[in-house]
Structure 1
Amino acid sequence: MSIQPSLQRGLTKMSSIFLVAAVLVVSVLGHSTGMPIASPGWDDQDFFRYCPPSRCSKDGPEVRFPLQLETSSSSSPCGATCAKLACSGQDVILLHPLLGPCKVTAIDYSRATLIIIPLVHSLSPCPLQKLISTNLPDDAYLRCPLYQATPGKIVQCSREFTPSSTTQVDDDYIIKKAADYIVGPISCFSNQSQFVYLVIARLYMYALPLDCKAISNVLIPMGLTDTYGSTFKQMSERIISFAEITVSWDGIPSNCRKCERDGQSCAFSSQRNQTFCIHNRPHGSRVKVIAATSSAAAFVVLLLTVATALYHSLKTRYNKEIHLKVEMFLKTYGTSKPTRYTFSEVKKITRRFKDKVGHGGFGSVYRGKLPNGLPVAVKMLENSTGEGQEFINEIATIGLIHHANIVRLLGFFSEGTRRAVIYEYMPNESLEKHIFSHDSNITRQLLVPEKMLEIALGVARGMEYLHQGCNQRILHFDIKPHNILLDYNFNPKISDFGLAKLCARDQSIITLTAARGTMGYIAPELYSPNFGGISYKSDVYSFGMLVLEMVSGRRNSDPSVESQHEVYLPEWIYEKVTTEEELGLTLETTQEEKENIRKLTIVALWCIQWNPKNRPSMTKVVNMLTGRLQSLQIPPKPFVSSENHPMS
């Protein structure tokens, strides 16, 4: 049974209305200020006496706060952006570090944007050529938002190709077709042996053929999309020919834009050290403004009230249908498997949820004890989405199987919108906490080479059972250190089957409506069909990434790393293996331990091959881990180089 699509769409729309209404209330009733700038003192009403608007010509755009012409003192508080403007004859010129001098044709203070035309030599056959070799400090994009809007990247391929209309790209959390973000080949760059394309910088190299590589050292400032009516392809055509583009200086307090939208001007108070609005209309209009504001606020409050009532009504119907779906599954599932508990029994097991031991994507985990004294972990599915599917997945998969390396499901609970699963308790928590522990003593005690091999082998055997040992093949789709739990003896157990999928054992390829898993562990074919079909080999890729993190002690995708020049972990490890260098572990190791580390690393590199056909099955992985190092061959390079990795 599936939830009615119309009900889901209605609930989504009401959520949007609720959010918009809340924002409107804040925007009508609120007024944010504040941006400290060191400056000499003057009265607020004298601001335009010290910082008057200026023009380079009678019909040219007016330059005023927060912009200023460079003819003023550089220490003056008359400007508050990184945009460097100056007069050249009768033209206003913006000095852009990438595009060079640009003529400013218009300035929109209410949107904080400038429309510019890059000035290039008239004989230049390909103006964009200069940006390939341009360099820019890594922090330039942080210092000046002028260069950030919708960045592009120039890539070079050895053959011409047509972008797939099915490949998807994540653009500001909205999934769109990658074909809309790939433009080319660019005629003035390309020839018979190379084809050059302009792509959005958020595009992963998964969407391009394997022979493509990035050739520009900096992100190309494309201008603004969508909000101002331009598509990526339209902006690409303009930037390729250096035609008119729109850039933003957005980086100052938003109340400056609000001043302009309200028919006022933005100014700076040297006494209060913050921006403020100056009325540039007759004072008699203030009464009209107050009346209009009051009416708007009353309308928004009414809209918010109606939206809230309708939202709760739809939410109630939605939850009832999910509950019915779960109950129908449990009726089909039967009662002879793990015990079903009531909410009062779950409260008693957890001592009223007193001992919280963790928190995951679907909710909180509490320690408890069954009536027979057995310690358990109770996972409350508080953040349940997807029509209760993660709960059904857990019960339908882990509830039917028993294996030494798979966590055991002991019971569950489902009443209304509240659901929980009850597992055997794992006292040593997750493998992730030990790999990336800040306590070096814990790491030294656990992750010695022999123990790493035991853990990898245990996980591999558990995955082999999921893929080959059950009546139906179980694909986990979220293998990662966080989901590998350790028992009293540090034996690994696979957990968290919320994203799992059942399929026939003879079914080699499956279909998914969207990629699932955790960034950094998701196989390439889940992003793009160009890499092959989705199968049990997708789990093998995740296992390989897990092992690489374990042997190196590094995350393969660290969100705290800001440098775009950070070396991709698999590439770094592959270089070490091919040159027979050690991975830099701090512990003193014997020759046997070094061989175990090398064996783990080579097996992991086989597992993360981008072509699924080149990855071994988990049965083969178990044989490789239990066999001799000398029988293992070093795999081919399993990735594109780091400069071509993800451009995001």
Structure 2
Amino acid sequence: MATGLKDMVVSPFCIMFLVLFAAPAARTGCPEENCHRHGPLIRFPFRLKNSHPDCGYPGFDLSCASTNETVLELPESVKLFVSKIDYKSQKLHAYDPNRCLPKHLQHLNLSASLFQFGYEYLEDFTVFSCSAEESRMWSRYDMSCADSDPDRRFIVLNSHSSISDSPSLLSCGKQYNVSLVPHQMLYYPKGDLIFNWSTPNCTKCEAEGKLCKLKHSAEPEIECSDIPKQHRGATMRKKIIVTGTALGSSFLGLVIAVIYYVHRSDKAEKNNQKRIKEFLEDYKALKPTRFTYADIKRITNQFMNLLGEGAYGTVYKGKLSNEILVAVKVLKSSIGNGEEFINEVGTMGRIHHVNVVRLVGFCADGFRRALVYEYLPKNSLQKFISSADNKNNFLGWKKLQAIALGIAKGIEYLHQGCDQRILHFDIKPHNILLDDNLNPKISDFGMAKLCSKDQSAVSMTAARGTMGYIAPEVYSRNFGNVSHKSDVYSFGVLVLEMVGGRKNVEVAAENACQIYFPEWIYNLLERGEDLRIHIEEEGDANIAKKLAIVGLWCIQWHPVQRPSMKVVVQMLEGGENLTIPPNPFASTSSGTKRTNATLPGRRPPQELDVISELE
């Protein structure tokens, strides 16, 4: 009896649905379609290939696979299955048919596509092929589904990986580089990739509840038009039917949920008000607040807005109130024994300086650990380090000098302004954040060490820092003791990158040999030649020269030859008549200097004999 009644209810509904909605689709001339009744709805700007050519926007063709899945075809023959299309936010979710996104890493180039990655933070990667045993040391990214040789495995290294977090690459071969792709492809190889599109922009039409369609013109322009009355009526009837059915099936659950909510809301509201009051008192007193993991999830809206990912944790955007935005770094619980977490909380809790990022709070809830910082909207300095010829990101020489001076003052404060000297050991563009006014703030103290101000050397069990920014003595005691001068070296590398941008290699036309950029700059300065850097305003050449000389002083191989950060600040604030430092690139093997060489080469890193030290 129950079955018969169900059939009597469902069958008329299906008939009514077909009658109501088949007619409007036919009237519009551009029907809403899908490959499968449970698949995503296909409408403007999308259309199915080889059907209704006047309906979709150029470049938004979809197709149906033999399995009735909706197929999105991207440049370089990358084909993905579409799981969802959000027309209001103009986002599309897609996944690999074999649930292996990493195999598309090399070919997923959107430069020739109307789609962009729907992520705020994109990264550069290098892919290596390593022995199966070597690859076991590497577990951050999952490339296993892309492996074709049982004896070889792919591993991926991102551009800001820490040397302490990277495996030995002695048995590995470089395969290829990829630029500006989301790390989600590697963390969630079976998951969805999110794409968005900005052209055509139908958000206004969607917000007004109107149809978005092509104008009848030679150019692919769009317009909003009212939905026909018949279509509006059908849509309203559809909403009434669907809403009524949903309410009928979930009424009992809704009543229970309402009763439970009323019972708990008053108590929860009182607790929230109390916590907000306590937080604001701590915030005004510059005292870090301790949060629970439930607080962290609420602050980040269930980790919805990803800002970036590093060696020790993932950073999300969060909100403590309408006025206070924060960046929440959730640490990887599998790394270390909590030393990085203790370092950062203990160090940051006692630091209050305009050029050091402020620790707002922390979470130590069981094995879950997180750090809550002030939110810096302009992201990191890395975003703005580019060739001076690239006017899209170049900040101008006066602003670069101000940023360099601010960073120097921040490091000087760490070295001299606290009760104990704080050695950062990871000064690099990624760890310099910028506020709305592009004022720099030093962040990420996971590798920091504390020592007394009168201590001339620091003992270490292993090298720490990021490849390319690590001082020679951190690798080998042959160059001197590890001290605050190690931060000076990293700062020098950063300043030279600010001068030369990403143009760290120049190619000579006569023999195409690679030239190490800092040494090339040194030779130009020594010969009194122009730095060959783009200059727009009067005085910019002097600023560029000053920054170059300060950077070269800071990267002297032996720590004793480097200035302290106090002296560096003085050089940046004045320093119109700075002297060129000794040549830091002179060969030790030949015993002669090569300051006038046309094609100087960088000291090979193999010459550094790493020796262990005891704490």
Q: TM-score, normalised by structure 1?
A: 0.47
Where relative contact order (Cα < 8 A, 6+ residues apart) is larger, the structure is 1
